[in-house]
Chains A and B, each alone.
Chain A
């Protein structure tokens, strides 16, 4: 378990890995995630299951290099074995036949919404998908998402592709036009998810977000991943990762996401310096 079957670079600093993990693939559902370690000294990091193939016994994850662990992961090659790979963790998305649904993905969140959009479409929903990134080359999985969406809308911050602006700008337009949106799914960086919730609030549309809380075990043992939802403490790894975004205490969540910022940054800097020496 944990062997990298295929590795593709799908954008600068973003890789897509297909990983051999029959036991995980067998159970995987949209909205769930895995926790992996690259090596014995590594950190346990959560990544969303972006796809799964029960026949091949594999799951796919899409990872963006943001720090030491994701950098180490991006250096592994096909055939390499991860030190640890466990899942499928968290509760699956609540897929039902609702009617019209909008799914919104930002950055690597685009990969996370893919299986959700697919299952929603298969369940008979009208799926309007909005994806956004900083710039054109960071727009990932466009073709795959087009296949599973009734309509696909794209935005880039710099206007190099699709509509210029944020996903929330496109979302506002959709909400104005579509009178009967039953539910919105939004996955991406915390500020984006919070902005989406702000946008949907006046329309009173239930908005599901997938929180990328910091985690260690992912099974409810450590409490690292706690968030306040509707005034109650929840563990993201077992009670989530999906929650009603209108009830999340975003200020607390974002403070907690930054807990190890300084330490992570300095360790990434050291790592890059050392790698630089190796290569030179």
Chain B
């Protein structure tokens, strides 16, 4: 066991940084950028934790991770124990450790944050999960009595996986239905390998399957089977089909050949492994000069992918300023280190092409910030006469996604709001139809992995309540 350090000593330490791949090298490969803590790094960082009671950090985590307890296990050098502690509440720790916006969640409320140096909870979580995977730690599952109730989960993103895992742990018979040929949702098709290796996603999904969760891929709910049909076969349903439909700007030239939606670009690269073409059969194209529209995580992922696929120059074009950019600070920093240029206060108005449909440029207009709008952000307004043409040969549209109506259309009595998202009770995730629950992006619009996980947990609890009380969707 590592030494217990007196509190004043702990507080003097500065946070341990995590080593990263050199930007010049990493733009030539798809390997992960942050390299992870060594055991020594992890212990050093873990020793800083003050073991607060009650721990504020836990209240900032929708997955309810037992933060001080798992950190203490790291101090005790019981790394397997640390991971098992996390798994008690969170089935996807290696992923959360990597992509959670920790700075907005657990770390924001860590007591150290007053001095602006919160415990690196995410990095420690990643370390514990990676260690357990690499050392093939087997979690001893409690013997649970199987319940004779069946739950259908629609969609295998973080919301669906979490709800399924939690219910399986309670003894329910759970089946996930997934439209694509591989489970994982955005974690598999959207977030790139260099940020979230697919081997790790696969491992955490395998663990969920080991709990007894069945996964049926290649089944589009709403098409192959309607929600109304699922109602006949299952006792309760959790809808977690994400908000996957790409939005466009509706400007001229948007259907030119090399104008991609971020979803197409990232799906080809991640899900279909087009970055390994022709070893994998799905092709992908990349221009020499690429413009990416938008400044969220999706835009950064698309820009960094384009760079790795061989683009010479990549510009991220955003109509507001750096301050309003929705991407995580870390993602923007990584993009800039890699040489991606960010053009703020710039709005595309037209994409220009030749007669073969190839992109030859993008006309933009400069913006300035006006009065705050209803979201509280200052509204960008065009500067008259400031139009200019960017010389680019490819454009990736990453302005956001919205609800795909396929599932909702087949769900009688399940209400949606005017954007097509299911309306639910915040706490129970119950929809307007008894026995049907919903969570993740399809109830809130594009959000985060951790909010989807939180919804999955709440829904699992509410479904257990619903079924334990003897209710069921199925007429028996």
26 contacts between A and B (CB under 8 A): A41-B280, A41-B281, A43-B272, A43-B281, A84-B181, A84-B218, A86-B181, A89-B220, A216-B264, A217-B180, A219-B220, A221-B244, A221-B404, A222-B246, A223-B264, A228-B255, A233-B250, A233-B254, A233-B255, A252-B357, A256-B255, A260-B285, A263-B285, A264-B283, A267-B278, A267-B283
A216-B267, A222-B263 are known contacts. Are A23 and B281 too (CB-CB below 8 A)? no
In the complex, whether A226 has a CB less than 8 A from a CB of chain B is: yes
B-facing residues in A235-280 (Cβ within 8 Å): 238, 251-252, 255-256, 258-260, 263-264, 266-267, 270-271
Cβ B224 vs Cβ A23 within 8 A: yes
Cβ B278 vs Cβ A255 within 8 A: no
With the chains together, A256 CA to B224 CA distance in Å? 29
With the chains together, A84 CA to B179 CA distance in Å? 11
B-facing residues in A201-218 (Cβ within 8 Å): 216-217
A84-B217, A87-B224, A263-B285 are known contacts. Are A223 and B246 too (CB-CB below 8 A)? yes
Cβ A43 vs Cβ B282 within 8 A: yes
- Chain A 60-73 near chain B by CB (<8 Å), digits 1 or 0: 00000000110000
Cβ B272 vs Cβ A219 within 8 A: no
Q: Which residues of A contact B406 (CB under 8 A)?
A: 219-220, 238
Q: Which residues of A contact B24 (CB under 8 A)?
A: none
A84-B217, A252-B357 are known contacts. Are A216 and B268 too (CB-CB below 8 A)? yes
In the complex, whether B356 has a CB less than 8 A from a CB of chain A is: yes
Cβ A223 vs Cβ B181 within 8 A: no
A217-B180, A256-B257 are known contacts. Are A270 and B278 too (CB-CB below 8 A)? yes
Residues of A near any B CB (own CB < 8 A)? 1-2, 23-24, 27, 37, 41-44, 68-69, 83-89, 216-217, 219-224, 226-228, 233, 238, 251-252, 255-256, 258-260, 263-264, 266-267, 270-271
Q: Which residue of B223, B246, B248 is within 8 Å of A88 (Cβ)?
A: B223
Q: Which residues of B contact A84 (CB under 8 A)?
A: 181, 217-218
Cβ A27 vs Cβ B280 within 8 A: no
Q: Which residues of A contact B219 (CB under 8 A)?
A: 23, 86
Q: Which residues of B contact A89 (CB under 8 A)?
A: 220, 223
A84-B218, A89-B220, A89-B223 are known contacts. Are A222 and B281 too (CB-CB below 8 A)? no
A222-B263, A255-B257, A260-B283 are known contacts. Are A86 and B277 too (CB-CB below 8 A)? no
- Smallest beta-carbon distance A253→chain B, Å: 9
- Smallest beta-carbon distance B277→chain A, Å: 7
Q: Which are the 5 A-B pairs with shortest beta-carbon distances? A: A255-B357, A223-B261, A84-B181, A263-B283, A267-B278
Q: Which residues of A contact B272 (CB under 8 A)?
A: 43-44, 216
Q: Which residues of B contact A223 (CB under 8 A)?
A: 246, 248, 260-261, 263-264
Q: Which residues of A contact B225 (CB under 8 A)?
A: 23
- Chain B 180-200 near chain A by CB (<8 Å), digits 1 or 0: 110000000000000000000
With the chains together, A252 CA to B283 CA distance in Å? 20
- Smallest beta-carbon distance A88→chain B, Å: 7
Beta-carbon nearest neighbor of A23 in chain B: B224
- Smallest beta-carbon distance B244→chain A, Å: 4
Q: Find the residue from A1, A255, A264 having the highest chain B CB count within 10 A.
A: A255
Beta-carbon nearest neighbor of A67 in chain B: B281
Beta-carbon nearest neighbor of A68 in chain B: B281
Interface range on chain B: under 10, 10 to 19, 20 to 34, or 35 or more?
35 or more
Cβ A222 vs Cβ B264 within 8 A: yes
Beta-carbon nearest neighbor of B247 in chain A: A223
Cβ A219 vs Cβ B255 within 8 A: no
Q: Which residues of A contact B52 (CB under 8 A)?
A: none
- Smallest beta-carbon distance A126→chain B, Å: 32
With the chains together, A37 CA to B272 CA distance in Å? 11
Q: Which residue of A1, A220, A260, A266 is within 8 Å of B404 (Cβ)?
A: A220
Q: Which residues of B contact A41 (CB under 8 A)?
A: 273, 279-281
Q: Which residue of B250, B264, B280, B281 is within 8 Å of A224 (Cβ)?
A: B264
With the chains together, A85 CA to B216 CA distance in Å? 12
Cβ B245 vs Cβ A220 within 8 A: yes
Q: Find the residue from B257, B282, B356 having the highest chain A CB count within 10 A.
A: B282
With the chains together, A251 CA to B225 CA distance in Å? 36
With the chains together, A238 CA to B272 CA distance in Å? 21
With the chains together, A198 CA to B199 CA distance in Å? 52
Q: Which residue of B181, B250, B257, B261 is within 8 Å of A259 (Cβ)?
A: B257
Q: Which residues of A contact B256 (CB under 8 A)?
A: 255
Cβ A266 vs Cβ B278 within 8 A: yes
Cβ A233 vs Cβ B248 within 8 A: yes
Q: Which residue of B224, B267, B273 is within 8 Å of A222 (Cβ)?
A: B267
Q: Which residues of A contact B273 (CB under 8 A)?
A: 41
- Smallest beta-carbon distance B403→chain A, Å: 10
With the chains together, A216 CA to B268 CA distance in Å? 8
With the chains together, A260 CA to B279 CA distance in Å? 16
A-facing residues in B312-365 (Cβ within 8 Å): 356-357
Q: Which residue of B250, B260, B267, B277 is within 8 Å of A221 (Cβ)?
A: B267
Cβ B223 vs Cβ A85 within 8 A: no
Q: Which residue of B248, B254, B280, B404 is within 8 Å of A219 (Cβ)?
A: B404
Q: Which residues of B contact A24 (CB under 8 A)?
A: 224
Q: Which residue of A27, A216, A267 is within 8 Å of B277 (Cβ)?
A: A267
Q: Which residues of A contact B257 (CB under 8 A)?
A: 255-256, 258-259
A-facing residues in B251-307 (Cβ within 8 Å): 254-258, 260-261, 263-264, 267-268, 272-273, 277-283, 285
Q: Which residues of B contact A220 (CB under 8 A)?
A: 244-245, 404, 406
Cβ B218 vs Cβ A263 within 8 A: no
With the chains together, A162 CA to B232 CA distance in Å? 53
With the chains together, A119 CA to B220 CA distance in Å? 25
With the chains together, A278 CA to B62 CA distance in Å? 54
With the chains together, A44 CA to B180 CA distance in Å? 10
Q: Which residues of A contact B404 (CB under 8 A)?
A: 219-221
Cβ B357 vs Cβ A217 within 8 A: no
5 more contacts with CB within 8 A, not counting A221-B263, A224-B264, A233-B254, are: A23-B224, A83-B181, A86-B218, A216-B268, A222-B263
With the chains together, A89 CA to B219 CA distance in Å? 11
